[in-house]
Amino acid sequence: MILGQKLIIIMPAYNAAKTVEKTYRELPFEIVDEVILTDDYSSDNTIEIAKGLGIKEVIIHKENKGYGGNQKSCYNRALELDGDIVIMLHPDYQYTPKLIHSMAYLIANKVYPVVLGSRILGKGALKGGMPIIKYIANRFLTLFQNILINQKLSEYHTGYRAFSKEVLESINYNANSDDFLFDNQMLSQIFYAGFEVAEITCPTKYFAEASSINLRRSAIYGIGVMTTSIKHFLNKIGLLKSEIYN
């Protein structure tokens, strides 16, 4: 427990057997109260490894629900367990668990209700092996979003995210996409609701076992990101009414 608040780590997993143990072993258990791992119908032995590590909250999907659908199960369970601070950490070891202290303390001390681990602040992305085409796309989409949403984030596409209970209870994340667009819609909802977001520099690693999406799905994601930003803008000026903001 951190400053009297319950900290829950959620780990949306899909074929993470090779990396989940390494990720789990680096968690700061002196402040972490619960770990939730949701397996999205993996074809490897992610579930067995997770249970072998002693993770009590292992949610097993009987069919693949997608990246967003996986997160919905995680957040819903975290709220059921009355988590005050919920941090999403991918079990593919792409993001270091060593930033959990810093992210959690910003929320626990009520400095910010949302904290993102940014790969773009500093030189972490390219240094960590982010493909140049992915880096360029990240920069373009982020600029597009900042203009339409009227914010100044360094990136909207990191998977390392920390939320207060208040934020999760205030937004309708269950109405979001079950695919990769979920993350982007969630940030749009958070800004639409008036919450502030902090960023901290996050080193990242790109390697064979780290999760990624192919070019076709990346293109679909990019179009979805721009569409989400346009809808956000139109909702703000009253020309559209989208269910994700209600």
Residue listed under structure tokens 């209600």: 246
Mean pLDDT of 74-84: 98
Q: Quick one: 24 exposed, middle or buried, by C-beta within 10 A (0-12, 13-18, 19+)?
A: buried
C-beta of residue 225 within 8 angstroms of C-beta of residue 141: yes
Could you give the domains of the chain? 7-245 (3.90.550.10)
Chain segment 158-171, per-residue pLDDT in tens: 999 999 999 999 99
Tokens coding 24: 């789990």
DSSP state, 57? E
- Dihedral sign of CA atoms 46, 51, 54, 60 in order: positive
Token pair in block for residue 60: 């097993």
* Ordered alpha helix ranges (H), 98-214: 100-108, 124-127, 132-149, 165-170, 181-192
Amino acid at position 196, single letter? E
pLDDT digits (tens, 9 = 90+) for 137-194: 999 999 999 999 999 999 999 999 999 999 999 999 999 999 999 999 999 999 999 9
Q: Do residues 2 and 105 make contact, with C-beta atoms less than 8 angstroms apart?
A: yes
Identify the three-state secondary structure at position 161. strand
- Position 214 scores a pLDDT of 75
| Mean pLDDT, all residues of the chain | 94
Residue 84 has a CB neighbour count (10 Å cut-off) of: 20
E strand or H helix at 135: helix 132-149
Average pLDDT, stretch 104-128? Answer: 90
